Every structure is written in structure tokens, then in C-alpha cells.
Amino acid sequence: MDKNSFLPVSRADMSGRGWEEYDFLLITGDAYVDHPSFGTPLIGRLLEAEGFRVALLSQPEWRSTRAFKTLGRPRLGVFLSAGNLDSMVAHYTAAKKRRSEDFYSPGKKAGLRPDRASIVYANRAKEAFPGLPVIIGGLEASLRRFAHYDYWDNKVRRSVLVDSKADILVYGMGERATLEIANRLKNGTPVSEITDIRGTTVLVSDKGACAFPFVECPSCEDVRESKIDYASATKIQYDEHDPVRGRAVIQRHGDKFLIVNPPQMPLDTAELDRLAALPFMREAHPAYNDMGGVPAIEEVRFSVIHNRGCFGACSFCSLAFHQGRIVTSRSHESVINEVKGFLSHPEFKGYVHDVGGPTANFRRPACARQLKNGACRDKACLAPSPCKNLDADHADFLGLLRKLREIKGVKKVFVRSGIRYDYMLLDKRGEFFPELVRHHISGQLKVAPEHCVDRVLDYMGKPHIGAYERFLEKYRGLNEKYGKEQYVVPYLMSSHPGCTLKDAVKLAEYLHRNGRQPEQVQDFYPTPGTLSTAMYYTGIDPRTMKPVYVAKTSHDKALQRAMLQWARPENRKLVMEALKASRREDLIGYGKDCLVRLAGKAHFKPAPKRAAKKRSK
């Protein structure tokens, strides 16, 4: 493989291209994987296509500026990202334990990026290149653009723009904003004057510098002191996060004003197609071959992302606050061309691992009104019940899947990304579900009911359990009809705000009654920028400003988690404690409904009595 087909990662690479200087340095906390699923290489390829010279620095040693200087000083600026994940999520579990592996690093080696990578990298870049514009972006920067609760510090931190001392923060997917920044810097505009680009955040001395209609939310100092103000600020930030109707949001930080300009408009089909057609190598850089490669490529090498945005708007998910709620999709031709490209790869065995995205079965806006008026301010499209204006049509997605199945050399096309079963059930055509079962499931279909208690599901922004049960009934029927032995793997969550210990017991009862014993359970993880994290920190639901119960201590969370895996011997003590605390001792004993069996007696009726009954017959 020709190393120079990758973006330059060394001075030798630049010399091979005949460069004496370059325009932008791109820094990422991930290993360099030249694939459209990785944000920094995607931005790099886009800048390259626009005629800019870019070089890429992945996972630099951050304890000094030495590594940052290895490629020389760029002519125009530095764009940097913590990587595809928030660096704290990449490093720590929901229990705040250090992870032993990092799938975005060579050989899964942990510790190759710093904690709070956006801040550390930006500070080092500022030291290495005094006076050079530094722009931060990516998921970590996007979700930390306002003053935010930080689970790992257990406190409210300032906007990452303030702590990083960067000049501009790009939030969301960022292609339009990045290109506009790059072109303005190329044309000689001082970075201090670039304050009016959609999808960016800047720090200024006078809020009159805001170029858009704006609303002011409680200040950084206010949200640190008052949980009511924090919840109120969260509500304002979510209300205005819309590219059609949204206003800029200003939040005072000390004597400065943080201006979060309205989101950029989503890329349309032609723009998404152009990105997909950029000359990616679709592999990890060969420099990692002797280090065990980069495992993250395995999940996406033969997968296709066909859409962006999600109107599902689950409270615990960051997608709505990052990609937005308006869905746009690539053309059939673009996706087909990408899959045809797999055929020449020596490792391709004929299986397309996934045709998906944030939510696989969304290929169009939720309704026609969204494109004109934006997503509704105080109403979700699907939960707790579907909006009457929802356009649940899978015809286009189904047509795409049919075309992919017909490609010579393709044996199977799977849909492994999450699907919204409630949305699928609303499709009046009724064609998609049967074809999904017949052709596009690889033994197991992963879906996310999350819980069974409707009140808890309301806090989660999920459909009520009745929708899941209707889905299961139809799924079983279709598998029986087509002679398939395929299963459902339900994602379940413990300790979400609003979920009490009694609710956890009800979920355990529900699972037991339906013959389910989950192997994996996700404990709620308060990641930056979500509604659920605001509930966790404040004990207030920002949508209603009403109190919400939160399980916060490690022991309370352990009790809830144990209930969801009640059958495990190592959980027995916790399950007994939880059942007694919930006054559900009726679930301890010998009956078929009991979750904890007592030793020393037969499970149901004594054997002699059963024998006597048989003799009497």
C-alpha cells in the first residue's frame, strides 16, 4: 500500500508530495484510520479536496510541545479533536474505573491520549505555535460547548472553549463551518473577527458581537450555584438547537460572553455523497501494522453509513445535541458505489456488515414540516406516543437494500445499527419488517426497549413497553413464517434518572416472566450534554422543571444493576437486600414467580402430594 496515499503524517510524507510548507495541522486523539467514520480524517480529506495542504498528527505525546512541532509550523492554523469519543468516556467506565483497552488506538493500547484531550491538545498547540489560530471540534468539544456537569469531577466545568484557550469551537458535524473558517483564514481574516459562522462557538468581550438573534441562558456562575438555573439553561440550549428556527445562545463566563451560534444546516444528499466519494484508503495507517492494527476499523470496514441525524431524541443520547434531529441521507447510487468498492478488498467475503447510521431505518425527515419550520420545540416525534404528522415510510430504505442485495459478489446485507421498532411498526405499507427478517438479520436483532415501566421510559424519551411487546409478537410470527431461528437482543439500562429500586424490581419481574436473563446491562452513564445527565446532576427534569428521583450512590446503583441480573449467584446478596428494601419478600421463596430461591425445600409442591394426586386419578 502506498503510504503517500494517506494524508501526510511526517515531513518525509510532505517532501514526497513536493511540499515545503502546509496550510493546516490536524490533530486527533484517535489513531489515524483513513475512513469516513473517523471525524478528523474526514475533515482532512474535505480540506484536501478544497485545495488546502493538510497534515495529520495522531495521538501526539502531550507532556511537552516536542511532538506537536515535528511537522513544522502550519501556515494557517490548527484543527484538533479528542477523537470519535469523549476522552473521558474512552478512558473510564460508568463506575469511573479506568478502562484497560482503547479500540481507537493501535493494539487496543490504553493511555495514548490524555484525559480531557481537547483542552490538553489545544494548550500544547498554543504553546508550540504562538499566535497561530487553534480551532477545536469533534464530539468532546461539541457536547462540552456550554458550562456543563462533568461526572468524573462531579462538578460543573466551564465551556471547553474557555479551558482550552482555543480561538473557535466547531460543534456538530462541522464540515460547513470548518470550510468557512479555513477559507476566511486563507483570505487573511483575523481569527478574532470570525465570530458569525453557524455551528461555531466563540468567546467575546461584548455580546453585541453576536451576528444572530439570540437568547441568554443562566451564566456559568449561576449554573454552578443553582441546580434550578442549570436545568433552565439546559432547556434553553436544547430548545434553540435547531438549524431552521434556532437562535444563538449566549452564556456569560465571568467577564466574557460565550456565543453559541445557531447550528449549521444539515448537509443535503449531494453534499453527503461528495463526502463519501472522497479518496479514503478505508484502512488504518500502515505504521500501525506491527502494533496490532487499530481494532475500531473492524466494525466499519465493510459497513455503510447512509444517513445523519436522529429524531428519536432519547434523553440519554447525545445525537440530538450533536447531529441534530433533522435526518438527511445519501443517494442510492452513492451507497451502491461504496459497496461495490468492497468487492476489490482481499478480506471482503461478500457480507456487508451494516447499512445504518444513528438510527438505521431513518432515511427522511420525520415530517415535511421539519424542513420548513424545524423540529418542534416542546414535542418529541416518537415518544411517549408518535406524532400524528410522523411520516413512517420505509420504501426508500427498502429499495436501497434490495439494490444492494442484487450486487454480484454480495452474499448478505445486514442491518446491525439500532432500529426504532416503534417507527417500523407505524409503516402502513408493511413491507419492510418482513424483508428485514428474511434477509437482513445476522442471527440476532439488537433493539433498545431499555425498561418496562412506562413512567421511567417517559424520562428516557422512549416508547412505552406496549410498543416493544407488539414488535416482539410480530417478530416471532415472521420468524416462524419464514422458518428462521433469529433472536432479539434487548438493550436494558439500570439507574436512569426516574428509576427507583421498586422500578428495577418490576423490570426484573418482567424479564423473569418472559424468560429473559440478560447477559449485559448498561448502567446509566452521565455523559456531557444530554438531558438525562442534567436530570442526574440536578434532580430536575429540564423539560418540566419537576423533581425526579436519582440513584446516585454506588450502592444504590449496584442494587438496581443486580436486580436486572438477579439469577447470577454473585448478585444474590444484593438482590435479597433490594427485594427486602422494596418490601417485595414475596419474590423470595419457592414459587415459580420468585426471583430468589430458598434452599432446603422442593421448588413447588412437596413430591408426595403430587404423587398422591396422580394415584387418585
Q: Is the pLDDT of residue 599 over 80?
A: no
Strands 148-150 and 155-157 come out as antiparallel
Distance CA 23, CA 78 (A): 9
Cis peptide before 384 (omega within 30 of 0): yes
Residue 607: predicted pLDDT: 38
Residue 42 CB contacts under 8 Å (≥ 6 apart), including other chains? 36, 175, 275, 278
Single-letter amino acid code for the residue at 288: Y
Quick one: pLDDT band at residue 518, thresholds 50, 70, 90?
Answer: confident
Residue 238: predicted pLDDT: 96
Q: What is the pLDDT of residues 471-501, one digit of tens each?
A: 999 999 999 999 999 999 999 999 999 999 9
Distance CA 547, CA 276 (A): 45
The mean pLDDT value for 134-138 works out to: 98
Quick one: pLDDT band at residue 600, thresholds 50, 70, 90?
Answer: low
Q: Is the pLDDT of residue 601 over 80?
A: no
Single-letter amino acid code for the residue at 122: A
The mean pLDDT value for 180-199 works out to: 98
Q: What is the pLDDT of residues 429-479, one digit of tens each?
A: 999 999 999 999 999 999 999 999 999 999 999 999 999 999 999 999 999
The mean pLDDT value for 202-226 works out to: 97
Residue 47 vs residue 599, higher pLDDT? 47
Would you give the distance in Å from CA 565 to the centre of its chain?
A: 25
Are 527 and 86 a contacting pair, CB within 8 Å? yes
Single-letter amino acid code for the residue at 291: M
CB count within 10 Å of CB 210 equals 21
The mean pLDDT value for 575-583 works out to: 96
Residue 260: predicted pLDDT: 98
Domains of the chain as residue ranges with CATH: 3-199 (3.40.50.280), 486-617 (no CATH)
For helices 332-342 and 269-276, angle between their N-to-C axes, nearest 10 degrees:
10
The mean pLDDT value for 105-110 works out to: 97
